[in-house]
Structure 1
Amino acid sequence: METVIFIKEGRQNRSAMRAVINYCQQEHKTYDSKSKRRLVSGVNCDGANSFREFMATKKVYGKDNGMFFYHYAQSFSPTEKITPEQAHKIALEFAEKAWEGHEVLVATHCDASHIHSHFVINSVGFESGMKLRQSPSTLKHLRKLSDEICLAYGLSVLKPYESGGKRMSTREYRARMKGESWKQKLANDIDKAMEFSGSKDEFICSMSILGYHMTWTDERKYLTFHCPNGRSCRDIKLHDDKYLKDNIERELLQREFPDGEKQPTGWEDSRELYEQHLRERALAKAELRRVAESYS
């Protein structure tokens, strides 16, 4: 999976911009041992000399004040099959389309399990002298553009937000891309429990085996998951409609009564079928316990 995040920089001045550029260009982070080259480039500038060129542009237009620069990152999941060189190529294509008329430093870091590229954008356009402006929809537009480029390369992207869900924070995006998000683990465990559940009671039991308990009542609109790590999470904060209470209930009801009947038929009339069902559920629970034990 890939995504783009905006990294908010609290300090906006000459020294802060230099510090961010120096961080992004660190050799031990940008050196790719496979291609044997540093993955530092520039769009509309020389990446290695980006600080000097950024400052020269600002001085030409008398705009070395206010907002100095913007900082973004494009990250790939550790499970994504992509090389640092490929990630850098994609990052350059993205930067060229995302910030036309602006100088952009592009630096790909390959020292961590998740390959990611940093973009430092000069706030002043080198041709127009106009400052780059952002709106609440800017990040949404950039993610859409990045997704289109990555899909063209055959790479996976994060699902778009479903209607009704809470917006995912930058911190959570970073955690998900590193495989460290507890909410992502919760979602994965819900998926696993659903594999072994044919009814609401079985789902509750399956989640209990994995260490969860739930606040699930008719009076409450949301389903709340209480996790083994002591945290709690409402269904609406998992960023996918399939985890919403109504959708889980509907799916489990369809599994329990596939023909829409009020009472299940077949088991009462056939002891053999009923015993076979019990054996299948026992095997399913044993497998689920094995999965749970693998976490510990």
Structure 2
Amino acid sequence: MPITKVLQIKKTENLKRSINYITQDAKTLKAEINTLEQDSFPMELIDGTLCKRLVSGHNLTDESDAENIFDDFVLMKESADIFNGRSGLNAYQSDLHDPKKVLAHHIIQSFSPEDNLTPEEVHEIGRKTVMELTGGQYQFVIATHLDKGHLHNHIILNTTNTVTLKKFQWKKNTKQTLAAISDKYAEIAGAKVIEPKLNNSYTKYSAWRRQNVYKVEIKERLDFLLRHSLSLEDFKEKAKRLNVTVDFSGKYVKYRLDDKGQQKFTRDRTLSKKGKYSLEEIKKALAKNEVVYSKEDVAAMYQEEQEQKEEDFEYKLDIEEWQVDEVTSQGIFVTVDFGIDQKGQIKIPARMLDQNEDGTFTAYVKQKDFFYFLNPDHSSQNRYITGGTVMKQLSQKSGDLLLKKNKYISKLDRLVDELNFLSDNNVTNSQQYEDLENKLLEQLEETDFELDRLDDRLSEANKIIGALSTYQGQLANVEVAEEILEKNHIDKNTDPYQMKKVLEEVQLERAALKEKRDDVVTNLTKYQSINQERQHKKEDKELKKQL
């Protein structure tokens, strides 16, 4: 969204200079044609032309005069000095006298020329952004500049709180919070994205991302190639199709992603401590393969597999129309509660949503998805929250059941797809098929353990619901009920129907997993029967030849 840049002002002369600069007539005056349009900006007659001055402020005596703005800022700081005893011998502790202390923050918001936003809309985005960032307890002046090829706001924020007289704390995450708030209001207004230029912090982040994300991506592609290559040459050729350069020439096998800007090779031992991607282990894995995707199909099939993984979800929930605060082309903004007395907005991107004909949205979210929580009243509470937390909050508000797709369903699906591929190609009597079948059997065993765990949860939930009803109704066995609730750390005043909703959600999760498990077992039994029949026919044929 808009590029946000922040500068610190530490001297009074620089503060005065900055205020004078941002409020210049040449930068902020807009000739007004439609005199019937009403807004908060004062109209002035400049050289016979009716103009609007795009300058406004908060907690200021007169934002139309730069000298008055400066005086207001200084008066607030002098009041803070008197209140905190920073006068006389202690004057050196004052913002006004210590050249190392920050008097004000100078925030710049730059918008794309393609946004088609009016100067008034841009100004309002800036005003809402700084009001949410500060909670309205700090003086600021905002000026929208029209003199460049793009609209941009200059905001000067006094660091002294007008209520508590305490200092605005610019912490490590404040810049991120500022950008997130700015993005929210800009997106709602229809602004587009301007890509920021590289700077030192972004370069450091990019280096970290390359070092860590490359490994994940390389392993994804190599795992696919290990299943769908027949020889080292086939492996190298198909690696090229997946934009991976493989170097077998040295002591270690080295890999490089050619479509992600990776400069240096990654050694095999940094990808797997067990040596999974070493030359020796690659040869062992390829020796088991009998049927694989062709060179022509390998890239398309890998892309299809990745898209299926990307589209996979863990939580599915219908979001009611009344729960949606704003709808934009990039997603929706919804209100969630996070902790006690913490209410704010998060954005769910369009790629996680289906819009339904009745105005509701169906969200598909993973537990490890992260959403930035924006508290409009207390921006210091802004933070990331997980997808699971977001879905549970929205479900609790609407009362709709939250469908959780157990992770073992996806694991079973992928193994079954691979088994189907081998079976369709009549490769059922091979080491490749046997290894895959064993993996599937192991996964079924793990799934059974998961079903047992869900059964335990259901049993415990039923006990809790009974205990709540017993305790709240003061029926027999109240002491036993109280013991159950304390053991499970459940508030004795919890609504039993709230627990009933949790119970129903776990029942749905278990039923879906059990259905998948039973379906896999049925199909696997059929495969084994067919394979035994094929093997018997093959043995009979060989016996007849011998006779």
What TM-score bracket applies, with the shorter chain setting the length? 0.5 to 0.7
- Report if the CA contact (8 A) 1:39-1:107 is conserved: yes
* Superposed counterparts of 1:203-222, under 5 Å: 217-218=245-246, 219=254, 221=256
- In terms of fraction of residues, the more helix-rich structure is 2
Cα gap change, 1:263 to 1:223, in 2 (>3 Å): closer
List per-residue Cα deviations over 1:135-185 (Å, max 9, x = no partner): 11001111111111122223234689xxxxx9537xxxxxxxxxxxxxxxx
Higher relative contact order, chain-length normalized (CA < 8 Å, sep 6+): 1
| Alignment partner of 1:44 is 2:44 | no
Cα gap change, 1:114 to 1:200, in 2 (>3 Å): farther
| Alignment partner of 1:137 is 2:173 | yes
CA displacement at 1:33 relative to structure 2: 2.5
> Where has structure 1 moved over 6 Å in runs of 4 or more?
199-202
Cα gap change, 1:221 to 1:59, in 2 (>3 Å): farther
List per-residue Cα deviations over 1:247-294 (Å, max 9, x = no partner): xxxxxxxxxxxxx833338xxxxxxxxxxxxxxxxxxxxxxxxxxxxx
- Report if the CA contact (8 A) 1:42-1:106 is conserved: yes
Cα gap change, 1:221 to 1:88, in 2 (>3 Å): same
SS of corresponding position for 1:104: strand
Match of 1:168 among 186, 202, 221: 202
Query: Which residue pairs with 2:18 in the alignment?
Result: 20
Give the Cα separation in 1 of the matches to 2:20 and 2:296.
Answer: 67
The one-letter code sitting in structure 1 at the alignment partner of 2:19 is I
CA displacement at 1:223 relative to structure 2: 5.0
Give the Cα separation in 2 of the matches to 1:125 and 1:72.
Answer: 17
The one-letter code sitting in structure 2 at the alignment partner of 1:263 is K
The one-letter code sitting in structure 1 at the alignment partner of 2:5 is I
Give the Cα separation in 2 of the matches to 1:5 and 1:128.
Answer: 27
- Report if the CA contact (8 A) 2:256-2:262 is conserved: no
The one-letter code sitting in structure 2 at the alignment partner of 1:94 is T
- TM-score (norm. length: structure 1): 0.55
CA displacement at 1:130 relative to structure 2: 0.6
Give the Cα separation in 1 of the matches to 2:71 and 2:262.
Answer: 49
Cα gap change, 1:67 to 1:7, in 2 (>3 Å): closer
CA displacement at 1:34 relative to structure 2: 4.4
Give the Cα separation in 1 of the matches to 2:126 and 2:52.
Answer: 16
Range that drifts further, 62-71 or 76-85 = 62-71
Cα gap change, 1:57 to 1:83, in 2 (>3 Å): same
Match of 2:293 among 228, 238, 261: 261
Query: Which residue pairs with 2:4 in the alignment?
Result: 4
Cα gap change, 1:32 to 1:223, in 2 (>3 Å): farther
Query: Which residue pairs with 2:192 in the alignment?
Result: 156
CA displacement at 1:85 relative to structure 2: 1.6
Equivalent pairs counted in the alignment come to: 187
Give the Cα separation in 1 of the matches to 2:175 and 2:146.
Answer: 24
Query: Which residue pairs with 2:182 in the alignment?
Result: 146
List per-residue Cα deviations over 1:39-94 (Å, max 9, x = no partner): 11102213232111001111112142422111111110122111112111221122
SS of corresponding position for 1:7: strand
Cα gap change, 1:221 to 1:54, in 2 (>3 Å): farther
Match of 2:104 among 69, 72, 80: 69
CA displacement at 1:102 relative to structure 2: 0.5
Give the Cα separation in 2 of the matches to 1:122 and 1:158.
Answer: 28
SS of corresponding position for 2:192: coil
The one-letter code sitting in structure 1 at the alignment partner of 2:4 is V
Give the Cα separation in 2 of the matches to 1:80 and 1:147.
Answer: 13
Give the Cα separation in 2 of the matches to 1:200 and 1:7.
Answer: 47
Give % identity. Answer: 25
Query: Which residue pairs with 1:111 in the alignment?
Result: 147
Give the Cα separation in 2 of the matches to 1:79 and 1:34.
Answer: 22
Cα gap change, 1:221 to 1:104, in 2 (>3 Å): farther
Higher Cα Rg, which structure? 2
